[in-house]
Structure 1
Amino acid sequence: MPGQGAPAAQPPGAAPPSENDPVTFTAEEVEYDQNRALVVARGRVEAWQGNRVLRADEFTYDRNTGVATARGNVQLIEADGQVVFADSVVLQNQFRDGVIEGLRGLLAQNGRVAAAGARRTDGNFFDLSRVVYSSCDPCERDPLAPPIWQLRARTATLDNEARQARYRDAVVEFGGVPMFWTPYLQHPAGSVPRQSGFLSPTFGVTDFLGGFIEVPYYWAIDESQELVLRPQFATSAAPNIGLEYRRRFNFGEIEAEGSVGYLDGTSSTPEGWAGHIFSRGRFAIDDTWRAGFSLNRASSEEYLRVYRYGARRLLDSNVFTEGFWGADSYARIDARAFQGLRSTDDNSLIPVVGPNIYWDWRAPVDSLGGTFTADTWNFATFRDRGTDTQRAAIRLGYALPATDRMGGLWTLRAQSDLVAYNYTDLNDAPNFATGRDAGQATVANVRAGLDWRMPFIRRAGAYGHQVIEPRVQMVTGPVTGRQSDIPNEDSIDFEFTDANLFSLNRFNGRDRQEGGTRIDYALRGAWHFPNGGLLEGLAGASYRMQRDGGPFYAGSGLENRASDWVGRARLAPTPWLEFMGRGRFDQQGGDPRFLDLSASVSLSSRTTLTAGYLYTPAVPYLTPVRNRDEVALGVTQQFGNWRFSAFGRYDLEQERPVVISASAAYEDECFLFEARFLKRFAEIAGTSDLYPASTILLFRIGLKTVGDVGFRAI
C-alpha cells in the first residue's frame, strides 16, 4: 500500500465531494479480513469520505456496518478547517456520527476546546462533557500552566452548522482561579454569519443613574438590515431605551441611532420625556450624482452626557445632493438646520439654511499656461429672531504662473466677486454691525495681485541643502470700507495667520470683501537634511496703503496699515523629534497675539511625549469673550502587551485644569483589559457646577472569541 498522502484535488469542473462517497484511505500497512469484511490499517493512516478527513495511528473499518474506529493520535479535520484531536474515535453514518474519547479541538480564531468525552450527531453537533475552552496560547515556559482565562463547564454543545458553542453550568477561571459562574453561556465558534442574540452587557454606577445595567440585544433582520436594542435600567432613574438601526442597499446605506427616556428633574436636566436621534444616509444616484441626509436632534447636552450617548454642543441636520465631474467641476445643493444644546444657546438666533447652492469649475490650462476658474455660492437663511438673508454670489478667477531667467517664480492672479443681498432685521443680529432693518444691496469687488518669489538654493554636501526664499506680493483693488450695512453670514470667524497672508481676499467667505492696495512680504528659510529631516521657518507681514481698516475688527491683526507679524517654524531633524509652531505678533513691540506650539518626542519606538501651548486673544464672535491661554502635555508608553497613556490641558488664564485623562490597557491573543479615566472641568454657565458626566471611569474586560463586559462610573 502507498504511504501517507492527502486527498487528491478535485479537477476543474468536478462535482463537490458527496457524503455518499466511499471511504478512501492510505496507510503503511493494511489487513483485510474477507470473512468479516473488516479492514485494518496501521501506520500514518489517512482516511477521507466526502469532505471529512481522518488521521490516526490505527484505523478499523467494518464494511458491513459502516462503523470506523480510530485509535492513537486521532485527528478529524472538517471542511471549514476545524480540527478535532482525540485518543479514540468511533464513527458511523459516513463519519457524521460517533463517540469520541479525550477530545481536544482546534477551532477557528485560535479557539481551543478539550473534553473528557463527546458524542457527535449528524456531523454538526458535538455534545461534550467536562469541557474546557480557551483561545489563549499555552505558556512557552510551562505548557501545563493554566492560561490567562478559560471556561470550564459540566456540559456543552458545539453546533458546527450555526457556528455556536453553548455551555451549561459554566465557570470562568483566570489563571486557574474561578472568578465567575453562569448557568448558561453562548459564544461564536469560528467565523459566524450574522445571528440574533444578546450582546455583552455594560454595568456601572453614576451620580445621576445610581447603579445601572445595559443588556443589548442584536436582531439580524435580514441580509441587508440589522437592529440593536439597548435597554438600560438604573436604580435612581427611569428606564432608558436606545436603538441602533442599519440598512444597506445596492445604491447606498442608512444608519440611525436614537433613544427615549424620562427625566425626573433631580439634576440640571428638566423633568419630562427626553431623547435623541442621530441618523445619516448616503445614496448613489448615478456615476456623477449622489444624495444624502443627516437628522440629528437631542433634548439637551446633559441628556446625552448622563446616558452615555456622547457629549455634543451643536447638532447639524441636512439634506443634500452633489455631483462630481472629474477634478474640474463640482456642484452641491443642500439645506441645513442647527440646534444648540446648552442652556446658554439661543436657538432663535441660529439660522435655518436653505437652499444652499454651490458650484465651481476649473477650465483647462490655456495657451499661456494660465487657469481660469468660476464658482457661485447662493443661499437663504431664516431665523426666528434676527437677520434673514438671501444671497447670490459669483466669483471669477484667473492665475498665470511664469519663471524668469534668474529663476524667479512669478504668479499673476485676479479675482472678481459680485454679490447681491436681500435682508431683513439686520440690526437684530448680535454679531452683525447695526444698519438698516431691511433692504437690498449689491457688492462688487475686483482684486489683482502679482506674486514674486525667488528660491536661493545652496548645496551643503553631506549635510543636505538649504533654501532661502524671499516672497513679495502686491495686491490692488477698490477700497471696500467697513461694510456695516451688509449681512455677515460666512465671514464671522476670521483668523490672520501665515496660511492666508498671500490670499487675495483673506476672509474665508464672500460677505466681507477686502479692498484697497497692499503689499505682502515674507522670508522663508529651510534646511533639508539627507535623512529626510527638515528645519524650516517663515516670517511675514502685510502693509496697506490706505488708512481705513476696512472690515477687520480690532485685534484681528489687520486693523492697522502695518499688520501684525505672522510666522511658522518646524524642526524635525530626526524621525523621533518634531517641533511645530505658528504665531502672530504685534507689529510694534512683538508681543504675541496668537501662539500655537506643539512638540513630539519619541524616546523609543514605544515611548512618545507630546506637549503643546495655545494662546488666542478674545474675539467678539465667541462666547465668553476672553483670552484662551492653555498648556497641554501627553505621554504614551507601550511595554510588551501593556499600553499606557496620560493627557492633560491646563488653563493658565483661569488657573485650573481643562481636562485630564489616563488609560491603561493589556492585550494579547486572547485577552483584553482596558481602564480609562476622564475628567472635564467645564462649568455650566452662570454657576460653579460642572456639567453632568464630567468625570468618567471605564473598565473593560474582553475574552476574545467569547465577548466582553464593561463597567462605567461617573
Structure 2
Amino acid sequence: MRRRTVAPSARTIPAPPAPACPTLSRRRRLLCAGLYGLSLAGLPFEIARAQIALPSEGHGGAPMQRNEPVTFRADSVSYDSKAGIVTWTGHVEIWQNDHAIRADRVTYDRNSGVAAASGHVAIVEPDGQVLFSDYAELTQGMRQAVMTDMRGIMAMNGKMAANGARRTDGKVNDLSRVVYTACKVCAEHPEHPPFWQIRAYDATDDLEHKRIEYRDVYLDMFGLPVGYLPFFSTPDPSVKRQSGFLLGDISPHDKYLGTYVTVPYFWAIDRESDVTFVPLLSTNTGPQLTAQYRHNFNSGVLRVTGAVAYDTNKTGAYTATNGNQVAAVDDKGVQGYMFAKAQFDWNQYWRYGADVNLASSANYMRDYRITGYGADVLSSDAYIEGFGTGAYSRIDGTAFQGLNAGVINQSELPFVLPRYQYYFTGTPDALGGRFSLGTSDFNIYRANGTSDQRGQLSLNWDRPFHDRWGQIFVFTAHLDSSAYKATKLDLLPNYAGVNAASTAQALPTAALKMNWPFLKSMRNSSVILEPIVQLIAAPNYGNSRNRNIPNEDSLDYEFTDSTLFNINRHEGVDRLDGGLRANYGLHANWTFGSRQVDALVGESLQEHIDRNQLPDTGLQTHASDIVARLRFTPVRYLDFTVRDRFDHNTGRTNFADGLFSAGVPLFSVTGGYIYNRHSFYYYYNNNIYTSAPPQAYLIPTNEGTIGLSSTWKQWHVAGYTRRDLSNNRFVAIGTDASYTNDCFIFDVAFNRRYTTINGDSGDTSILFTLTFKTLGTFPVNG
C-alpha cells in the first residue's frame, strides 16, 4: 500500500518558547547550592506522588500489542523484493495501536524484522511522551528498540536526554549517561545548563509501572554539582499518585524536639483512597507515628489525620497571663491526637458531616508542633443541613476542648447538644412586602456554669417604597420571641441573682427607615449626599440581667457603624433592644475615576436605657456615642478604612479600628489597628457585679500590625510585626523571602511568637523549603 498524502514531519513542529537565560551571579549560585547541599546526606531517595485521585481519572494508553495492524504514511515507498527490504522516505509516519514513529527515512528488513529509522526520529507514546533520536532500530512492532543520542519530552514540561537507550519488551527503557530537568532551556544559548538538572550514570524508565530509577546521581544547579545520591527513584512526571516514600522533614534544632527527622511513606490503596504514614524520630523526646487517611466517595469526602507518640517532656508550674497560678502537670507518656472531617451529600437538598478535633493535651501539641496549638480551644461538631429555595435548615451538636489551661477551665466549656436552626425568606407578596422567619433552638450543658435550653422564633416583614422626591423608605414589622429553662444561672457566664429559672420573652418592633440620596454628576466624577433616618418603636424591655434570661449568643457586643441601623444591635437574640429610639446618620460618597471617598457618621437617640449594658459600649446614655466610618481610595494603589466610636460629650475615643494598604507590587505596606477601652473577655469570666473586675479587664485592647512586602521579577520578600501597645511589647514578628521560577521554588520563613501559652513564654522557628518541579519539596526546619 502506498499513500502520497504528505504529513508534517517532526522537524516542522515549532519548539515551545524558551525563557531568557539565567543571569544569577556566582555568589547567588553558590549560596543556593550550599543550602540545598544541607538537605542531602548521600542517602538513597525514593519519592512517591501523594495527590488524591478522582474517580473519573484514567490510566493512560493501552499496552503495546505485538499483533496489532501497522499503518504507514510517507512521501514515497520503494521495495527491494530480492533483499526483502521496504524503504519509506519523506515525512514518514508509522503507527501501531496508540504508538507512532516519525522519521525522514525508515528501512524495514522483512527477513530480520528490524526497522531502522533515521533523520529527525520521533517516537510518540500513548501517554503523550515523545522520544527524539537521530537513529533508532525497532523490532517486534516497536516493543524492542535501540536509540542513539536520545532526547525525550515528558509530562509537566519534563525533559530527558541520554547518550543511548534500549527498550525491552515494550515495558522498560534502559538509559545511559542520563540528564533530566523540568526547567525551560534557553533558546538563545542552548549550551547553557538549565537552572537545575539530575545527572546519572544510568537510569531505568519502567513504562509499565511509570517509575524512573536513577543510579549514581548528581544534582546540578546552574551547572554546578550540589548534591550526590547513590540511588534516586521518582514517579514518571505523568503520574499523579503512586505508593512509595515521600520527601521528609529534617530539623537540626527544635525547642522541644531537638534534632528530628521524618520519613513519610505514601500508600495509594486504590483510585479513591490513600494513607500516608509519617514516623518522627527526635533527640529530645519520644517517637511519633502519624497517619493521614483520605477517601473520595461519589457522594462526599473523608479525611482523618491522627498520631500516637511517647512524650517525655514535663510541664512545671507557672503563672498565667491573667494572674492565675497553674500547678505542674505530669502529662508525659503516651499521647496522641485525631483530626477528622467528613461531608456527604444525602440528595440534592441535604448533606451531613462531622468535624472532630481531639488531642490528649495542649502540651503534647506544643511539643510536636501539632497544627492548632496556640488557640484557646479545639471544637468538634456533627451536623445535618438542607438547602431549599429561600430556605436553610441545620441541626448540629458541638463540643469544645480547652487548650490554654491558664485561662480556660474545661469544666466551664459548653456542650451544645443539640442546636437547630431554620431560616426562610419568601417572595414578594401582593402588598409588595417580603416575609421571612428564623428559629435558633438549643440545649447547652456546662459542668461548672449555666446550663439552659432555648426555643426561639423571629418573624419579619419588610415593605420598601419610595415617593416622587426620591426618598426611599422601608417599613419593617418584626417580632422576637423565646422561652428558656436554665440552671446554675449564678455561675459563668451570666452571674445572675438566682440559681435556676424558667423565663420567656417576646418583643414586637416596628421600624421605618428613610434614605434620601442627592446625586450630583460632574465630568468624570459624581457626588452622593444621603441623609438616613430611622424610627424604631418597641416596648421598654427593662434590665435583661435582672429578668434572669440566660445569655449565650449575645456575649460579644460591639456598637459601631455596621450595627447603627439594625433592629437589634446585639449579635444574637438573648439580649434585645427595646424602647423608642431614633437613629440618624449622613452618608457621603465622592467618586472620581478609580478614586473614591466614602464616609458615614451617625448617632442613636434612645428613650429607654438597658442598665445591663456593658461599660463603654456607647449605649449607656439617651444619646449614644457617635459612630463614624471613612474609606478613602485616593489612587489605585492606596486604600484605607477607619472606624471610630467616641463620646458625644467629651470626644473621648472608646473604640477604633483601621485597615490600610498602599504600594505597588515592587513595594507595598499593609497595616491594621484596633482599640477598645476594656478587655471584655474577662467580663464574662468574672463576676464584676459583686467584686471589682480583674486588672486585665481594665487594660485597654490596643494593638497594631504592620506588614511590608516587595515583589520583583521572581523574588518576593515580606515581613510583619504585631505589637501590644497597652503593654508595650511585641506579640509576634515574622519574615519570608522566596525565589520562584518555572521549575524551582526556594522559600525561607522566620517567625517569632512572644505570647505566653501554658507557661511557654514564646517560640522561634525558621523553615527552609526547596521545591523542585516534578520531584518534590525538601523542607528543613530550624
* TM-score, normalised via structure 1 length: 0.94
Aligned to 1:376: 439
Aligned to 2:399: 337
Q: CA 1:668 to 1:578, structure 2 compared with 1: closer, same or farther past 3 Å?
A: same
Aligned equivalents of 2:434, 2:74: Cα separation in 1: 78
Deviation at 1:325, TM superposition (A): 1.2
Is 1:253 the counterpart of 2:314? The answer is no
Is 1:690 the counterpart of 2:761? The answer is yes
* Contact kept? 1:512, 1:551, Cα under 8 Å: no
Q: Following superposition of structure 1 onto structure 2, how do residues 231-310 of structure 1 map, counting pairs within 5 Å?
A: 231-266=279-314, 270-310=331-371
Is 1:455 the counterpart of 2:526? The answer is no
Q: CA 1:453 to 1:29, structure 2 compared with 1: closer, same or farther past 3 Å?
A: closer
Q: CA 1:81 to 1:223, structure 2 compared with 1: closer, same or farther past 3 Å?
A: closer
Task: Please tell me the residue identity of whatever aligns with 1:516.
Answer: G
Aligned equivalents of 1:231, 1:267: Cα separation in 2: 24
* Contact kept? 2:154, 2:238, Cα under 8 Å: no
Aligned to 1:441: 503
* Contact kept? 2:315, 2:363, Cα under 8 Å: no
Q: CA 1:364 to 1:47, structure 2 compared with 1: closer, same or farther past 3 Å?
A: closer
Aligned to 1:635: 708
Is 1:568 the counterpart of 2:629? The answer is yes
Is 1:608 the counterpart of 2:668? The answer is yes
Aligned to 1:587: 648
1:385-411 C-alpha deviation (Å, 9 max, x unpaired): 111101111111111111022111111
Cα RMSD, aligned residues only: 2.1
Q: CA 1:382 to 1:22, structure 2 compared with 1: closer, same or farther past 3 Å?
A: closer
1:111-134 C-alpha deviation (Å, 9 max, x unpaired): 111112211012231011121111
Aligned to 1:64: 111
Aligned equivalents of 2:378, 2:196: Cα separation in 1: 43
* Contact kept? 2:359, 2:365, Cα under 8 Å: yes
Aligned equivalents of 1:627, 1:452: Cα separation in 2: 37
1:94-146 C-alpha deviation (Å, 9 max, x unpaired): 01111111111111111111112211012231011121111111234432122
Q: CA 1:709 to 1:396, structure 2 compared with 1: closer, same or farther past 3 Å?
A: same
1:349-404 C-alpha deviation (Å, 9 max, x unpaired): 11101111111222221222111222221111111111110111111111111102
Aligned to 1:10: none
Aligned to 2:17: none
1:37-94 C-alpha deviation (Å, 9 max, x unpaired): 1123344433333332222333211122221112233221222221111232111000
* Contact kept? 1:299, 1:341, Cα under 8 Å: no
Deviation at 1:23, TM superposition (A): 4.2
User: Which of 187, 190, 200 is the aligned partner of 1:153?
Assistant: 200
1:147-182 C-alpha deviation (Å, 9 max, x unpaired): 221111122111223222111221212222222222
Aligned to 1:12: none
* Contact kept? 2:64, 2:170, Cα under 8 Å: no
1:571-596 C-alpha deviation (Å, 9 max, x unpaired): 12332221111121112122211111
Aligned to 2:57: none
User: Which of 480, 483, 495 is the aligned partner of 2:544?
Assistant: 483
Aligned equivalents of 2:499, 2:96: Cα separation in 1: 89
Is 1:650 the counterpart of 2:652? The answer is no
Aligned to 1:175: 222
Aligned equivalents of 1:632, 1:213: Cα separation in 2: 34
* Contact kept? 2:475, 2:512, Cα under 8 Å: yes
Q: Residue 432 of structure 2 aligns to a residue in which SS?
A: coil
* Contact kept? 1:105, 1:112, Cα under 8 Å: yes
Q: Following superposition of structure 1 onto structure 2, how do residues 123-142 of structure 1 map, counting pairs within 5 Å?
A: 123-142=170-189
Aligned equivalents of 1:219, 1:53: Cα separation in 2: 34
* Contact kept? 1:387, 1:428, Cα under 8 Å: yes
Task: Please tell me the residue identity of whatever aligns with 1:709.
Answer: F
Aligned to 1:223: 271
1:618-639 C-alpha deviation (Å, 9 max, x unpaired): 1433474231212222122211
* Contact kept? 1:301, 1:313, Cα under 8 Å: no
* Contact kept? 2:84, 2:110, Cα under 8 Å: yes
* TM-score, normalised via structure 2 length: 0.86
Aligned equivalents of 1:660, 1:350: Cα separation in 2: 31
Q: CA 1:3 to 1:360, structure 2 compared with 1: closer, same or farther past 3 Å?
A: closer
Is 1:677 the counterpart of 2:758? The answer is no
Is 1:705 the counterpart of 2:774? The answer is yes
* Contact kept? 1:523, 1:540, Cα under 8 Å: yes
Q: Residue 490 of structure 2 aligns to a residue in which SS?
A: helix
Q: CA 1:122 to 1:16, structure 2 compared with 1: closer, same or farther past 3 Å?
A: closer
Aligned to 2:692: none
Is 1:392 the counterpart of 2:455? The answer is yes
Q: Residue 621 of structure 1 aligns to a residue in which SS?
A: helix
1:657-698 C-alpha deviation (Å, 9 max, x unpaired): 11111111111121111111111111136x6x524xx21101
Q: CA 1:507 to 1:148, structure 2 compared with 1: closer, same or farther past 3 Å?
A: same
Aligned equivalents of 1:522, 1:33: Cα separation in 2: 98
Deviation at 1:444, TM superposition (A): 1.6
* Contact kept? 1:674, 1:699, Cα under 8 Å: yes
User: Which of 656, 664, 668 is the aligned partner of 2:741?
Assistant: 668
Q: CA 1:459 to 1:171, structure 2 compared with 1: closer, same or farther past 3 Å?
A: same
Task: Please tell me the residue identity of whatever aligns with 2:674.
Answer: L
Mean Cα deviation higher: 50-59 or 496-505: 50-59
Aligned equivalents of 1:563, 1:700: Cα separation in 2: 53
Is 1:85 the counterpart of 2:156? The answer is no
* Contact kept? 1:19, 1:51, Cα under 8 Å: no
Aligned equivalents of 1:306, 1:502: Cα separation in 2: 48
Q: Residue 32 of structure 1 aligns to a residue in which SS?
A: strand
Task: Please tell me the residue identity of whatever aligns with 1:471.
Answer: I
Task: Please tell me the residue identity of whatever aligns with 2:132.
Answer: F
Q: CA 1:599 to 1:132, structure 2 compared with 1: closer, same or farther past 3 Å?
A: same
* Contact kept? 1:500, 1:506, Cα under 8 Å: yes
Aligned equivalents of 1:473, 1:525: Cα separation in 2: 17
Is 1:407 the counterpart of 2:467? The answer is no
Q: CA 1:294 to 1:118, structure 2 compared with 1: closer, same or farther past 3 Å?
A: same
* Contact kept? 1:426, 1:437, Cα under 8 Å: yes
Is 1:554 the counterpart of 2:615? The answer is yes
Between 1 and 2, higher relative CO (CA 8 Å, sep ≥ 6) is seen in: 2
Is 1:518 the counterpart of 2:581? The answer is yes
Q: Residue 428 of structure 1 aligns to a residue in which SS?
A: coil
Aligned to 1:11: none
Aligned equivalents of 2:724, 2:498: Cα separation in 1: 41
User: Which of 487, 494, 506 is the aligned partner of 1:424?
Assistant: 487
Deviation at 1:187, TM superposition (A): 1.6
Q: Following superposition of structure 1 onto structure 2, how do residues 39-78 of structure 1 map, counting pairs within 5 Å?
A: 39-78=86-125
* Contact kept? 1:28, 1:41, Cα under 8 Å: yes
Deviation at 1:512, TM superposition (A): 0.9
Aligned equivalents of 2:775, 2:84: Cα separation in 1: 46
Mean Cα deviation higher: 519-528 or 189-198: 189-198
Task: Please tell me the residue identity of whatever aligns with 1:195.
Answer: Q
Task: Please tell me the residue identity of whatever aligns with 1:93.
Answer: Q
Structure 1 unaligned residues grouped into runs of 5+: 8-14
Deviation at 1:566, TM superposition (A): 0.8
Task: Please tell me the residue identity of whatever aligns with 2:714.
Answer: N
Deviation at 1:445, TM superposition (A): 1.2
* Contact kept? 1:71, 1:88, Cα under 8 Å: yes
Mean Cα deviation higher: 432-441 or 211-220: 432-441
Aligned equivalents of 2:286, 2:164: Cα separation in 1: 49
